[in-house]
Amino acid sequence: MIRRGLLIGLAFGAGAVHIAAVGVLLAMHQRWIVIDVLTLGQAALLLIAGGAGAMAGRALPGLVAGAAAGVPIAALTVIMSIVPLHSIFIALSSDLSNMLTFELGLAAGVAILVGGGAMAGLVGALLRNSPPIVRRAIFPGAIAVVVAGVFQELIQLMLQQYEGPVGDFRDFIYTWEGLSLQGAITIFLLAALCSEVLGFVWRMRAQRLATEDHRRERMIKAGIALVILAVLPAVAGSYVGQVLMLVGLYILMGMGLNLEVGLAGLLDLGFVAFFAVGAYTTALLTADAPHALAHLPYWGAMPIAVLLSIFVGVLFGLPVLGVRGDYLAVATMGLGEIVRVIVQSDFAAPLLGGAQGILQIPKPAIGSFILGSPVSLFYLTLIASAIAAFVAWRLENSRLGRAWMALRDDEDVAQALGINLIRSKLLAYGLGAAFAGLAGSIFATMLTSVYPSSFQLLISINVLALIIVGGMGSLPGVVLGSIVLIGLPELLREFGEYRYLFYGAVLIVMMRLRPEGLWPSDVRQRELHATDETLELDAGTDAVPAQPR
């Protein structure tokens, strides 16, 4: 047990060295969680040691694991004081040394790192073995404090518009620098209390609901999430509105790609092309620019953009009809890149504006009211998403949807069953493209300008990642995936250079913990577990569950 604790501790410690070497640790150290008490960087080190302790299990191994987690980073501190690593590893600066020694000198620093690690490890192990009532209080409390501390700017920004009791509460917990000690304690207690009460209510309910329909329960949860999504920008202001607007655009695209990949099994890495077609069509039809073909109002251009996207989608589908599996991924990626290259090129510049893009795209207007603010555009996106979700939901359970699923499971069998492969595939491309085209159209009017640099391969990758993280073939999964992969990184915008590090780490961790996605569709879930549960194998995989009405 002790040996295992040691190994776990060293592995966690290696993680600590990694975040130190890439500079995240120092960047985190420059932010307070609680003013003059705890920085985010110190919290990260504590969390690493505590996590090692919790994983090691009981008290003594936990203590060992925590101490061992402190050893690599302490060793790094010692090495840094001897060898000028700074000349190669730019993040290992004197500032980092100061942080790791707590400005108390090397010996004291090493002692604190290892000793503090041991204590944190012990606490982690104890917490793990503590009764649920303790854990239910401490974890949410700690998480709430960290969130309140890390996102203090954002939260303060949201609260800034209010005076009166809300304003007083804000001034009580925050100073302009961040969370004060009294604020941290208050938030911890509040969160702990809430968690205990909610936990109690939830367990009561769960006993009552045990026999009721599981599906209904999920519906209600989805409904609550939707209401929160709908209300949030209105109360939280334009920045959150803008972020949610981007999330909404990705939800739209995700739904489109979900038809292609999730239902029809057509792996598409060139999805950004349809997005570009939608955006450029809208731009060319509405902009007050020399390249414009017409000066339609937005509502006139949007349907044309969607139709043209469908057309391009079908056109895309035609050549790659016979291409399967991963070959398809490359073929579609190629098509996506071709669209980007054309849009950017001097060759097509007389028509599409080339590198200079197209500017002066008007915002949509209803009567004399211009949808100018991010929040109002968010509601436009929300409505578009709702319509798209409805369409996608109806499609999923239609004849066509079933044909797609058959196609996904086995193309040859599907054909033998009399499914028209060509028609089904082209429809999948066309309809998927329609959603992306709609998203592109809103994107163009949101930015009032389009530049070729907005249509990178990265967008296709993001959309694919979000539907898989969310759970392939599942509509709520798309929403959840967009929030996690698009919304959260946006909130980390001030971390700039480290955003994609977090993004990569989140993708790896999420896929390892839940390869089926955060909110998998019922069918999918059964398929993935089919190998374990042989009983379900015959019943589950080929039949679509009957639709409760």
Partner 1 sequence: MARFNAVDIVLWALRIGVVLVVVVGTVSTLIKNRYDAAQWFDFVMFGLTIGSIYAQIALGYTMVYGVLRLINFAHGDIVMTGAFAGYFVATPLDRSGFLESQPVLAMSAILVVAIVVATSIAVLTERIAYRPFRRVVGLAPLICAIGVSFFLEQTFRGMFGSAVKSYPEPEWERAAFQVFGFNVPRIDVLVIGLALLFMGALYLIVQRTRMGTAMRAVAEDGEAAALMGIDVDKVVVFTFVLGGAMAGIAGVFYAFVYKQVYFLMGFTPGIKAFGAAVLGGIGNIPGAMLGGFFLGMVESVGPTLFLDGMGIPAPYQLRDLIAFTLLIMVLIFRPQGLLGERMAKKRA
Partner 2 sequence: MRAFRKLYGPMILCAAVAFGMAHPATAATVGPVTDDLGVIRIAKGAPIQIGAYWVLSGADTALGLDEKRGVEIAFKDLGGKVLGHPLKLNAEDDGCNAEGGQTAATKLAANPQTVIVLGPACSSAATPGAPILWQQGIVNICTACTAPKLTASDRKPEYDGFARTVFSDSEQGKADANYVHDVAKAQSVVTVHDGSPYAQQLQQVFADNFKQLGGKVLSQEAIAPTDVDMKPLLTRIASEKPDLLYFPVFTAAAAQIVRQAKSTPGLEKTALMGGGSLLSADFIEAAGPSIVGFRIGYPDLSPDAMGKNYPKFVDEYKKAYNEAPISGYHANAYDGAMLAIKAIEKVAKSDKDGNLYIGKKALRDAVFSTKFDGISGPIACDQYGECSQFKPSVLEFTSADPKTFSVGQNPKKIWP
Binding site for partner 2 (CB under 8 A): 86, 90, 93, 153, 157, 160-161, 176, 216, 219-220, 222-223, 226-227, 230-231, 233-235, 237-239, 241-243, 246, 341, 344-346, 354-357, 359-360, 369, 372-376, 378-379, 382, 443, 446-454, 490, 493-497, 499-500
- Choosing from 75, 91, 111, 157, the residue that interacts with partner 1 (CB under 8 A) is 91
Q: How far is the CB of 357 from partner 1 (least distance, A)?
A: 16
Q: How far is the CB of 501 from partner 1 (least distance, A)?
A: 4
- Choosing from 500, 543, 544, 545, the residue that interacts with partner 1 (CB under 8 A) is 500
Q: How many helices (H) and strands (E) does the chain have?
A: 26, 6
> 410 is in the binding site of which of partner 2, partner 1, none (Cβ under 5 to 8 A by kind)?
partner 1
Q: Does 167 bind partner 1 (CB under 8 A)?
A: no
d(CA 234, CA 214): 32
Q: How far is the CB of 130 from partner 1 (least distance, A)?
A: 29
- Choosing from 84, 297, 334, 372, the residue that interacts with partner 1 (CB under 8 A) is 334
> Can you tell me whether residue 416 is helix, strand or coil?
helix
Q: Which is nearer to partner 1, 58 or 402 (CB)?
A: 402
Q: Does 84 bind partner 1 (CB under 8 A)?
A: no
Selected range binding partner 1 among 63-71, 110-118, 188-196, 514-522, rule: CB under 8 A? 514-522
C-alpha 99 chain-centroid distance = 31
- Choosing from 515, 538, 539, 544, the residue that interacts with partner 1 (CB under 8 A) is 515
> Can you tell me whether residue 455 is helix, strand or coil?
coil
- Choosing from 28, 408, 429, 474, the residue that interacts with partner 1 (CB under 8 A) is 408
Q: Does 433 bind partner 1 (CB under 8 A)?
A: no
Q: Which is nearer to partner 1, 396 or 527 (CB)?
A: 527
**Contact map string, positions 434 to 473, toward partner 1, x by CB under 8 A:** -----------------------x---x--xx--xx--x-
Q: Does 102 bind partner 1 (CB under 8 A)?
A: no
How many CB atoms are located within 10 Å of the residue 264 CB?
25
d(CA 182, CA 199): 25
d(CA 125, CA 68): 14
Q: How far is the CB of 354 from partner 1 (least distance, A)?
A: 10
Contact 195, 137 (CB under 8 A): yes
Q: Does 327 bind partner 1 (CB under 8 A)?
A: yes
Selected range binding partner 1 among 69-77, 181-189, 305-313, 328-336, rule: CB under 8 A? 328-336
d(CA 403, CA 435): 20
Selected range binding partner 1 among 30-38, 134-142, 375-383, 407-415, rule: CB under 8 A? 407-415
Selected range binding partner 1 among 15-23, 132-140, 220-228, 301-309, rule: CB under 8 A? 15-23
Q: How far is the CB of 241 from partner 2 (least distance, A)?
A: 7
How many CB atoms are located within 10 Å of the residue 301 CB?
26
> 375 is in the binding site of which of partner 1, partner 2, none (Cβ under 5 to 8 A by kind)?
partner 2
Per-residue DSSP letter, 318: T
Phi and psi for 287 in degrees, rounded to 5? -65, 150
Helices marked H in 161-180: 164-173
Q: How far is the CB of 15 from partner 2 (least distance, A)?
A: 22
Long-range contacts of 91-97 (CB under 8 A, 24+ apart): 91/20, 91/21, 91/22, 91/23, 91/26, 92/20, 92/21, 93/26, 95/26, 96/20, 96/25, 96/26
Q: Which residues contact 251 (CB under 8 A, 6 or more apart)?
A: 385, 478, 479, 482
Q: Does 29 bind partner 1 (CB under 8 A)?
A: no
Contact 470, 479 (CB under 8 A): yes
Q: Does 320 bind partner 1 (CB under 8 A)?
A: yes
Per-residue DSSP letter, 56: H
Per-residue DSSP letter, 545: P
- Whole-number CA gyration radius for the chain: 27
Q: Does 189 bind partner 1 (CB under 8 A)?
A: no
Q: How far is the CB of 31 from partner 1 (least distance, A)?
A: 17
Q: How far is the CB of 379 from partner 2 (least distance, A)?
A: 5
> 169 is in the binding site of which of partner 1, partner 2, none (Cβ under 5 to 8 A by kind)?
none
Q: Does 335 bind partner 1 (CB under 8 A)?
A: yes
C-alpha 498 chain-centroid distance = 15
Q: Which residues contact 191 (CB under 8 A, 6 or more apart)?
A: 140, 141, 143, 144, 145
Q: Does 534 bind partner 1 (CB under 8 A)?
A: no
Q: How far is the CB of 82 from partner 1 (least distance, A)?
A: 19
> 17 is in the binding site of which of partner 2, partner 1, none (Cβ under 5 to 8 A by kind)?
none
Q: Which residues contact 312 (CB under 8 A, 6 or more apart)?
A: 273, 274, 277, 433
Q: How far is the CB of 500 from partner 2 (least distance, A)?
A: 6
Contact 145, 186 (CB under 8 A): no
* Structure token digits, residue 14: 């290696």
- Choosing from 338, 365, 383, 539, the residue that interacts with partner 1 (CB under 8 A) is 338
Q: Which residues contact 527 (CB under 8 A, 6 or more apart)?
A: 540, 541
Q: Does 258 bind partner 1 (CB under 8 A)?
A: no
Q: Which is nearer to partner 1, 167 or 319 (CB)?
A: 319
- Which DSSP string do the residues of 337-401 spell out, in sequence order? HHHHHHHH-SSSHHHH-GGG-B--PPPPEETTEE--SHHHHHHHHHHHHHHHHHHHHHHHTSHHH
- Choosing from 10, 321, 492, 537, the residue that interacts with partner 1 (CB under 8 A) is 321
Binding positions for partner 1, rule: CB under 8 A: 18, 21-24, 88-91, 261, 265, 267, 318-327, 329-331, 333-335, 337-338, 341-342, 344-347, 408-411, 420, 422-423, 457, 461, 464-465, 468-469, 472, 497-498, 500-501, 503-508, 511-512, 515-517, 527-528, 531
